[in-house]
Amino acid sequence: MEMKSRNLLVLVILLALVACKSNEKEEDLQVEVAPQDTVQIVEAPEPEPEPVVEVDMGVNLEDKYFLIADTYTVKAFAESWNKKYQQRGFKSAVIMRNEDGYYRLALQSFNDFDLAKNALEVLRQEEELNDAWIMIIDK
């Protein structure tokens, strides 16, 4: 009987161990999950806008390409016409080339030839400016 008791005792201990291990495994498997009561939608950020390149529509004597409306031998005539163009919204200026002595009425100036060419095409759409031209000053 001692053997049966011992076997029974071993069996009870084994069952107790198995029961403990199965409880341990259940505890290990339990994961605490926070309730998901809200959903947050994240939108991709909008791309930065391209910087706007401002083109000064006036005359800068440091530029290389000048849109010339007309050429004058008398400075007073050039200045009179300059005032008329300024009243129309141009930021024009009377400039003079030293080599030939003529006063030129510049309506706009640029450092980029393509910009000057495009602006000239727009100017020439006005009948009184269809003879406008580009003067290049190499510095």
pLDDT tens, position by position, for the chain (139 residues)?
565 566 656 655 666 665 655 555 555 556 565 666 666 677 777 877 776 555 557 888 889 999 999 999 999 999 999 999 999 999 999 997 667 889 999 999 999 999 999 999 999 999 999 999 999 988 7
pLDDT at 5: 61
pLDDT at 87: 95
Q: Tell me the C-alpha to C-alpha distance, in Å, between residue 137 and each of 3, 63, 98.
A: 119, 8, 11
- Give the CA radius of gyration of the chain: 44
pLDDT at 105: 95
User: Domain spans of the chain?
Assistant: 65-136
> 137: closest CA among 120, 121, 113?
113
> 86: closest CA among 106, 101, 70, 114?
106
Q: pTM for this structure?
A: 0.59
pLDDT at 49: 76
The CATH-assigned architecture of domain 65-136 is 2-Layer Sandwich (3.30)
pLDDT at 99: 76
Tokens of 45: 């950020």
- Looking at residue 74, the DSSP 8-state letter turns out to be S
